[in-house]
Chain A
Amino acid sequence: MLSFKPLIGIILVLALTLTQGCVVTRGTIGEPLQEDAISQIKKGTTTMAEVVALIGAPDRIVRGNDREIFHYYYYDGKSPAMLLVLLNFIRMDIKSDNLYVFFDKNGIAEEVVYGKRTGRTQFRLWPFGE
């Protein structure tokens, strides 16, 4: 039983040595967009007020082609880093989700455009390659 103690100590020291200088950071902007709420927006029937009730107030309101466009966004960034005494690697991967709801002149949803990229955000340390 006693012989395990040095082994545990060695494993602990090894683990600490291997992970020393490791930094893991995650940053987000906004709230993740709920796909079940987005799917409830029906073109030609859902009103502006209903969209706000479902998803919340937009992050931006854009005007284009005489129409109001609600823009919702969410950003997710993952950044691992290895900060050793002589060598540092830092990599950050940021992706965004965007939702646009186009309203006609009567305030009825006319088009919904949604793109999700944050699912592909990765913790990648190695800065070389793609």
Chain B
Amino acid sequence: MSSLAPRFSSIRFAIGILCILFLYAGCSVRRVAFNDVVTVEQVSFIRVGQTTIGDLADHIGAPDEITESEFGVVALYNWSDTKSAAFDFGALARLILPYAPTMTLNKTGITPEQLQVVFDPQWTVRAYGFSRRTMDKPIVWFWPF
């Protein structure tokens, strides 16, 4: 009985390692962040008809783009947080086989967001708003269906 105990514990250890390997097998997590997020709180200082482009730059920095529209000049602040995760079921085969079959599930969520500020000819804010915002998505979510 006593000689079986160490063997049983080593089998448990091996199974544990295999389980960990299987859980992480072919797991790939990628994340790309572009610029800082601009929040609603950060732009609460804006007063339509009063705040100038200089005030805006002092608070949240220079815009990424300035373009002209029918309603006036528009300053655009862009940011994004792209998350991508993949799970390759064939990765475990790499440990034992010379050939690793690819059986990958991958999901990528690119979420570009934008703050748009419209200026009048005196460079004071005429209107501003955020682009359609997405809910926070999990970082590891590889199920593509």
Contact, CB under 8 Å: A86 / B31: no
Contact, CB under 8 Å: A86 / B35: no
Closest to B29 in A: A127
Contact, CB under 8 Å: B123 / A111: yes
Alpha-carbon separation in the docked complex, A71 to B72 (Å) = 18
A21 to chain B, nearest CB (A): 12
- Which residue in A85, A92, A95, A98 is a CB contact (below 8 Å) of B63? A98
- Which residue in A86, A89, A98 is a CB contact (below 8 Å) of B64? A98
Contact, CB under 8 Å: A63 / B62: no
Closest to B66 in A: A62
Alpha-carbon separation in the docked complex, A102 to B52 (Å) = 13
- Which residue in A90, A98, A117, A128 is a CB contact (below 8 Å) of B36? A117
Tell me how many residues of B have a C-beta within 8 Å of chain A. 37
Alpha-carbon separation in the docked complex, A63 to B68 (Å) = 7
Inter-chain contacts of A99 with B (CB < 8 A): 62
Number of A-B contacts (CB under 8 A): 102
| Chain B positions 56 through 95: 1 when the CB is less than 8 Å from some CB of chain A, otherwise 0 | 0100111111111000110000000001000000011011
Contact, CB under 8 Å: A65 / B33: no
Known: A62-B67, A86-B21. A93 touches B33 (CB 8 A): yes
Contact, CB under 8 Å: B31 / A90: yes
Contact, CB under 8 Å: B92 / A86: yes
| Chain A positions 43 through 79: 1 when the CB is less than 8 Å from some CB of chain B, otherwise 0 | 0000000000000000000111110010101000000
Known: A86-B27, A88-B29, A96-B64. A113 touches B73 (CB 8 A): no
Known: A71-B66, A98-B62, A117-B36. A127 touches B21 (CB 8 A): no
Question: Knowing that A65-B119, A127-B83 are A-B contacts, what are 8 other residue pairs whose CB atoms are under 8 Å apart, sorted by A's residue number?
Answer: A62-B66, A71-B65, A91-B32, A93-B33, A113-B63, A115-B62, A120-B36, A127-B30
Q: Give me the interface of A with B, judged by CB distance under 8 Å.
A: 62-66, 69, 71, 73, 85-100, 102, 111, 113-117, 120, 127-128
